[in-house]
C-alpha cells in the first residue's frame, strides 16, 4: 500500500470550486486524495479541456507504471522474459496450435481441437502427429477409462459417436434418431460399458457394445434444454462438475437446480448404477444455495461436495455429511473440489485462482496458495492431483504447484512469456500424472516438462504451413 505522506506527483486541477492538489496512484487503481481544499475564484484555466486531458494522461501513465512494477516483480521469479533464450526459430516451433485439448486417462494420447483444423490426435510421449479425426465436437468429449476410445457429439451428425483410438474409426453411435436439443451426454461409466444421456426428464443407459438403449429412468428434475444444471458458485477459471462417477462404477452423483426462480434450491441425488434408481441426499440447507462441484475420492468412500460457503464430505457408508470446511477467501467462500492427490488430500479451487489443499480426514485446510494481484487466468490439475497448473493471463506464464503440499514447483514458459505485450490466452492441458503440459498460443504449440520447464516435443501438423514468426 502506498504511503499517502509520500505523494507520487502533484497536479493542480479543480472540481467545481475545490482545489485538488494531490493525486496518488495505489496498485492498479487511481485514488485522488484531497490534501488541501481552498476556495478559489476566477480560475478558469483549471476547468479547460486541456487540463482535463492532462489529468487523464497522467492517470493512464500511472496505471501503466503500476503494471510495469508488477512485471518487474514477475521477472524476478520467472527465469524468462519475452522469448526464451533457448527458444528455437519460428519454423522449428510447433505449428499445431489449438484452442482446446486434453490427454486421455492413460496418458498415451493428446486430443486437440482448433477452429479451422478440427480434431487432431497426437502421441503424448513424443508429440508425433497421428491423424485428424472427422467432425468437430459440439460440447467437448469423453474418454473411456483406458484411453482406447473417445465419445463426442459431431456438429453435422446427430447422436453421439464412439471413436476408437488411434484409428479414428467410429465403433458405436447412439441416440441418432431424434431431436437432440433436449439431450446431453453425461459421460461414460468407469468400466466403459455404458453411456449415460439425459433426455428431457429421463436418464438413459446406452450400451457401447451394441449401441442400443438398455433402459431409462425418470429423473426428478424439470425438463430443460440440454438437461438440468446446478446453481454454480464457481468461477470461469475451471469447469464445474455437476455430475461425478464413482471410480468403483457403482454411483453417479448429481446436483441440479430447477429453473424458473433463482431462489429454487439445489437438489442432490445419487444414482445407483446397478439398481438404476435415484436416491436423494439429505444435506444442510447451505448446500441448497448452489454447488461448486462434485468429486468422489479414489476409493469411492467419500463424495466431496463444493458449496457456496466451502466444502462438505458425504460418507457413502453412513450416508451422513461432515461439517462444512469453510472457504477462507475474503471475496467468496466457495470451494471447488478438483482432484484427490492422496486418499485424504484434496485440491480445491477458491475464488481468484486461490488453491487450497484440504485434509479430508481432519476436515481442515492446511495450505492456501494465493496468486496475488495476477489472478486472472485458468486452473488445471492432473488427474492424480500431483500437479496444479495456473495460467497467469498477464504474463502468459504457467505456474506449477505440488498438489500434495501446495508448494510451488516452478514455472513453464511456452516459448514466450513474462513480458509487457498484448497477451493472448494460452490454451493448455496437463497429463494425467502431472509430468507434462501441452500448451499453445500464437508463438507455437508444444509439450513441456511441468517440473523442469524443458521443451519435450513441438507439435507439428504436416498438413499446415510452418510458422513464420
Query: What distance in Å separates the CA atoms of residue 92 and residue 90, rounded to the nearest whole number?
Result: 5
Domain residue limits at 246: 90-130+229-458
Identify the domain boundary among 77, 101, 119: 77
Please indicate, yes or no, if residue 234 is contained in any of the structural domains.
yes
Whether residue 356 sits in one domain with residue 377? yes
Identify the domain boundary among 56, 77, 98: 77
Query: What distance in Å separates the CA atoms of residue 394 and residue 373, rounded to the nearest whole number?
Result: 10
| Residues 17 and 3: beta-carbon distance below 8 Å | no
Please indicate, yes or no, if residue 139 is contained in any of the structural domains.
no
Spatial CA neighbour of 101 closest among 428, 380, 391: 428
| Residues 301 and 315: beta-carbon distance below 8 Å | yes
Please indicate, yes or no, if residue 169 is contained in any of the structural domains.
no
Query: What distance in Å separates the CA atoms of residue 436 and residue 14, rounded to the nearest whole number?
Result: 57
CA count, 13 A, side-chain hemisphere, 247: 16
Query: What distance in Å separates the CA atoms of residue 324 and residue 364, rounded to the nearest whole number?
Result: 9
Please indicate, yes or no, if residue 444 is contained in any of the structural domains.
yes
Region 206-215: what's the mean pLDDT? 92
| Residues 279 and 252: beta-carbon distance below 8 Å | no
| pLDDT above 90: residue 372 | no
Please indicate, yes or no, if residue 186 is contained in any of the structural domains.
no
| pLDDT above 50: residue 2 | no
Region 413-431: what's the mean pLDDT? 87
pLDDT digits (tens, 9 = 90+) for 254-277: 988 877 666 778 889 999 999 999
pLDDT digits (tens, 9 = 90+) for 26-74: 333 333 333 333 333 444 444 566 666 776 666 655 545 444 444 444 5
Query: What distance in Å separates the CA atoms of residue 146 and residue 190, rounded to the nearest whole number?
Result: 9
Strands (E), 343-415: 345-349, 355-359, 364-369, 377-381, 387-392, 397-402, 408-412
* pLDDT, greater one: 4 or 439: 439
Strands (E), 84-239: 100-103, 109-114, 118-123, 129-133, 137-143, 149-154, 160-164, 170-174, 183-188, 194-199, 202-207, 213-218
Binning pLDDT at 50, 70 and 90, where does residue 239 land?
A: low
Q: Angle at CA 421, nearest 5°, toward 416 and 422? A: 105
The residues that bridge with 434 in the sheet, in sequence order, are: none
> What is the overall mean pLDDT for the chain?
81
Whether residue 126 sits in one domain with residue 17? no
Whether residue 115 sits in one domain with residue 48? no
Please indicate, yes or no, if residue 69 is contained in any of the structural domains.
yes
The residues that bridge with 350 in the sheet, in sequence order, are: none
Please indicate, yes or no, if residue 275 is contained in any of the structural domains.
yes
Whether residue 439 sits in one domain with residue 358? yes
Whether residue 310 sits in one domain with residue 246? yes
| pLDDT above 50: residue 133 | yes
Whether residue 340 sits in one domain with residue 432? yes
CA count, 13 A, side-chain hemisphere, 45: 1
Please indicate, yes or no, if residue 112 is contained in any of the structural domains.
yes
At 420, phi and psi to the nearest 5?
-70, 115
- What are 79's three cell numbers? 527465469
| Residues 377 and 237: beta-carbon distance below 8 Å | yes
Region 114-135: what's the mean pLDDT? 88
Whether residue 126 sits in one domain with residue 15? no
pLDDT digits (tens, 9 = 90+) for 326-335: 999 998 899 9
Region 441-463: what's the mean pLDDT? 95
Whether residue 65 sits in one domain with residue 110? no
Question: Cell 479451487 belongs to which residue?
Answer: 349
Spatial CA neighbour of 211 closest among 263, 266, 238, 174: 174
| pLDDT above 50: residue 119 | yes
Spatial CA neighbour of 85 closest among 416, 391, 450, 420: 416
Counting Cβ atoms within 10 Å, is residue 373 exposed (0-12), middle (13-18) or buried (19+)? middle
- Per the structure, the count of domains in the chain is 2
Can you give the CATH number for the domain in which 283 is found? 2.130.10.10
Spatial CA neighbour of 217 closest among 172, 178, 269, 174: 269
Whether residue 102 sits in one domain with residue 71? no
Spatial CA neighbour of 180 closest among 198, 202, 207, 161: 198
* pLDDT, greater one: 362 or 31: 362
Taking CB atoms within 8 Å and a gap of at least 24, the contacts of 272-279 are: 273/189, 273/194, 273/249, 274/250, 276/205, 276/215, 276/217, 277/217, 278/217, 278/219, 278/220
What pLDDT is recorded for position 403? 96
- What are 363's three cell numbers? 476436515
What pLDDT is recorded for position 183? 80
Query: What distance in Å separates the CA atoms of residue 402 and residue 386, rounded to the nearest whole number?
Result: 6
Whether residue 124 sits in one domain with residue 13? no
Whether residue 114 sits in one domain with residue 36? no
Whether residue 247 sits in one domain with residue 356? yes
Amino acid at each position: 500500500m502506498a504511503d499517502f505522506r509520500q505523494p507520487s506527483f502533484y497536479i493542480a486541477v479543480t472540481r467545481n470550486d475545490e482545489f485538488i492538489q494531490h493525486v496518488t496512484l495505489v496498485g492498479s487503481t487511481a485514488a485522488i486524495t484531497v490534501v488541501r481544499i481552498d476556495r478559489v475564484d476566477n480560475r478558469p484555466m483549471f476547468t479547460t479541456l486541456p487540463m482535463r486531458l492532462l489529468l487523464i494522461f497522467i492517470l493512464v501513465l500511472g496505471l501503466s507504471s503500476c503494471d510495469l512494477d508488477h512485471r518487474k516483480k514477475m521477472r524476478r521469479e520467472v527465469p524468462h522474459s519475452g522469448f526464451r533464450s533457448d527458444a528455437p526459430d519460428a519454423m522449428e516451433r510447433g505449428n499445431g496450435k489449438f484452442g482446446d485439448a486434453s490427454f486421455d486417462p492413460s496418458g498415451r494420447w493428446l486430443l486437440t481441437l482448433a477452429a479451422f483444423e478440427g480434431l487432431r490426435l497426437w502421441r503424448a510421449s513424443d508429440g508425433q502427429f497421428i491423424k485428424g479425426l472427422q467432425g468437430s465436437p459440439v460440447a467437448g468429449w469423453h474418454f473411456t477409462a483406458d484411453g482406447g476410445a473417445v465419445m463426442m457429439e459431431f456438429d453435422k451428425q446427430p447422436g453421439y459417436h464412439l471413436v476408437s483410438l488411434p484409428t479414428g474409426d467410429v465403433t458405436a453411435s447412439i441416440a441418432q434418431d431424434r431431436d437432440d436439443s433436449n439431450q446431453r451426454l453425461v459421460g461414460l461409466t468407469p468400466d466403459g460399458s455404458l453411456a449415460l444421456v439425459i433426455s428431457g426428464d429421463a436418464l438413459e443407459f446406452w450400451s457401447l457394445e451394441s449401441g442400443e438403449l438398455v433402459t431409462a429412468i425418470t429423473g426428478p428434475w424439470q425438463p430443460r434444454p440440454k438437461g438440468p444444471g446446478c446453481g454454480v458458485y464457481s468461477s470461469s477459471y475451471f469447469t464445474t462438475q455437476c455430475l461425478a462417477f464413482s471410480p468403483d462404477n457403482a454411483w453417479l452423483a448429481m446436483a441440479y437446480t430447477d429453473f424458473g426462480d433463482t431462489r429454487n434450491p439445489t437438489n442432490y441425488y445419487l444414482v445407483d448404477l446397478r439398481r438404476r434408481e435415484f436416491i436423494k441426499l439429505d444435506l444442510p440447507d447451505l448446500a441448497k444455495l448452489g454447488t461448486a462441484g462434485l468429486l468422489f475420492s479414489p476409493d469411492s468412500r467419500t463424495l466431496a461436495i463444493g458449496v457456496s460457503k466451502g466444502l462438505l464430505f458425504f460418507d457413502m457408508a453412513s450416508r451422513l455429511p461432515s461439517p462444512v470446511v469453510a472457504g477462507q477467501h475474503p471475496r467468496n467462500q466457495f470451494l471447488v473440489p478438483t482432484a484427490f492427490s492422496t486418499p485424504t488430500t484434496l485440491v480445491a479451487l477458491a475464488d481468484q485462482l486461490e488453491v487450497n489443499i484440504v485434509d479430508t480426514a481432519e476436515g481442515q485446510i492446511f495450505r492456501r496458495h494465493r496468486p496475488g494481484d495476477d489472478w486472472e487466468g485458468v486452473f488445471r490439475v492432473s488427474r492424480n492431483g500431483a500437479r496444479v497448473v495456473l495460467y497467469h493471463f498477464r504474463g502468459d506464464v504457467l505456474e506449477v504447484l505440488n498438489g500434495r503440499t501446495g508448494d510451488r514447483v516452478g514455472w513453464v514458459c511456452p516459448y514466450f512469456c513474462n513480458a509487457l505485450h498484448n497477451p493472448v490466452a494460452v490454451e493448455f492441458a496437463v497429463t494425467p500424472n502431472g509430468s507434462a503440459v501441452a500448451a499453445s498460443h500464437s508463438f507455437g504449440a508444444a509439450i513441456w516438462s511441468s517440473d523442469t520447464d524443458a521443451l519435450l516435443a513441438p507439435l507439428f501438423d504436416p498438413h499446415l504451413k510452418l510458422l513464420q514468426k
